[in-house]
């Protein structure tokens, strides 16, 4: 993928999954190089996520078609899980991409930075839940066209719940990875501070020795 020549990127030209990330990226304290690096990383991850989702959906269709169960609730449930997993992987990719971009830009990966990433990922997940509920509604409407009376009661809510559960699982993994990295960052912060203090102490001792 070619690097972006200008920033900000034209968000109107991007699919929703990408534009959501770039909207977040615009507000992050990264320089132009850091934002371009994050954008390229995320686009690469997103392409792999979407390709994987298509393969999984194709397998679901093949499996339930072979068993003549395309009209079943289990078929819709299987599709919902794949869709929820996709958004969950997007949240995971966002956390990892932002972390790598901070490091690439030479910004310290400290407690404040990790908190900023955590907040952005959580906000992304909350925003995606509304889209998942709409996706669940569309699945049911496609499967059961007609009036609302013809649709099974509670099916939309059940599918949306499965999608959100899958999203929450992957988001939790991303947050856990950040939590694991968090004490390392804090330890590095304290180590750097102690090193600077030792260097300052040596410099002061050297100055006193010359007096």
Burial class (CB in 10 A: 0-12, 13-18, 19+), 173: middle
**Does any domain span residue 190?**
yes
**Does any domain span residue 29?**
yes
Range 64-75 average pLDDT: 91
Nearest CA among 137, 176, 16, 157 for reference residue 87: 16
pLDDT band at 9 (very low <50, low <70, confident <90, very high): very low
Instruction: Tell me which of 203 and 199 has the higher pLDDT.
Output: 199
Gap between the Cα atoms of 56 and 204, Å rounded: 64
Nearest CA among 45, 44, 47, 49 for reference residue 84: 49
Q: How is residue 209 written in tokens?
A: 């020795």
Q: Residues 118, 175: contact at Cβ < 8 Å?
A: yes
**Does any domain span residue 66?**
yes
**Does any domain span residue 91?**
yes
Gap between the Cα atoms of 161 and 129, Å rounded: 9
Alpha helices in the chain (DSSP H): 16-27, 32-66, 73-104, 111-143, 155-210
**Does any domain span residue 1?**
no
For 203, the domain range is 11-144+151-210
pTM score: 0.73
Q: Which pLDDT tens digit goes with each residue over 98-157?
A: 888 888 777 777 777 788 888 888 888 888 898 999 999 999 988 888 766 677 889 999
Name the domain count of the chain: 1
**Does any domain span residue 22?**
yes
**Does any domain span residue 41?**
yes
Handedness of CA 193, 199, 201, 203 (dihedral sign): negative
**Does any domain span residue 70?**
yes
Q: Residues 107, 34: contact at Cβ < 8 Å?
A: yes
Gap between the Cα atoms of 176 and 46, Å rounded: 21
Gap between the Cα atoms of 155 and 161, Å rounded: 10
């Amino acid at each position: 993928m070619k690097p972006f020549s200008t920033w900000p990127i034209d968000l109107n030209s991007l699919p929703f999954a990408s534009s959501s990330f770039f909207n977040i990226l615009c507000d992050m304290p990264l320089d132009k190089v850091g934002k371009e690096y994050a954008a390229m990383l995320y686009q690469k991850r997103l392409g792999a996520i979407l390709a994987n989702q298509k393969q999984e959906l194709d397998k679901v269709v093949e499996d339930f078609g072979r068993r003549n169960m395309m009209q079943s609730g289990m078929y819709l449930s299987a599709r919902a899980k794949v869709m929820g997993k996709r958004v969950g992987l997007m949240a995971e990719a966002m956390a990892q991409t932002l972390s790598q971009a901070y490091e690439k830009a030479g910004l310290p990966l400290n407690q404040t930075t990790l908190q900023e990433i955590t907040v952005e990922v959580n906000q992304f997940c909350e925003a995606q839940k509304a889209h998942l509920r709409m996706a669940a509604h569309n699945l049911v409407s496609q499967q059961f066209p007609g009036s609302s009376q013809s649709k099974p009661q509670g099916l939309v809510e059940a599918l949306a719940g499965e999608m959100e559960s899958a999203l929450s699982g992957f988001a939790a993994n991303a947050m856990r990875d950040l939590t694991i990295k968090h004490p390392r960052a804090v330890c590095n912060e304290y180590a750097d501070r102690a090193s600077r203090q030792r260097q300052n102490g040596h410099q002061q001792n050297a100055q006193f020795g010359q007096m």
